[in-house]
């Protein structure tokens, strides 16, 4: 069990370093002006995921009325 804790604490900083490197690459490729757009997309995606996990329905789940047949 002690070895598992040591392994967890060792990998956590590695994850942070990888995330920082990915952020730097995104800034270099996309430019700093697009970061707010990327953040907004991630925020909407997180909100949608949270709403779906809580069981809240969205407009996409409702059946659409296509009018009378014929």
Query: For the packed helices 35-54 and 2-30, what is the interaxial angle rounded to 10 degrees?
Result: 130
pLDDT at 19 over 80: yes
Residue-wise pLDDT tens digits, 42-70: 899 999 999 998 887 655 555 556 666 65
Tell me whether residue 12 is exposed, middle or buried, using C-beta atoms within 10 angstroms of its C-beta: 0 to 12, 13 to 18, 19 or more. Answer: exposed
pLDDT number for residue 47: 93
Query: Mean pLDDT of all residues in the chain?
Result: 77
Length of the chain in residues, anyone? Answer: 70
């Amino acid at each position: 069990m002690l070895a598992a804790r040591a392994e967890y604490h060792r990998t956590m900083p590695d994850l942070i370093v990888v995330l920082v490197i990915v952020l730097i690459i995104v800034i270099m490729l996309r430019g700093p002006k697009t970061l707010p757009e990327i953040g907004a997309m991630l925020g909407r995606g997180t909100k949608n995921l949270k709403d779906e996990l809580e069981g809240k329905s969205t407009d996409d789940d409702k059946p659409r009325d296509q009018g009378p047949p014929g």
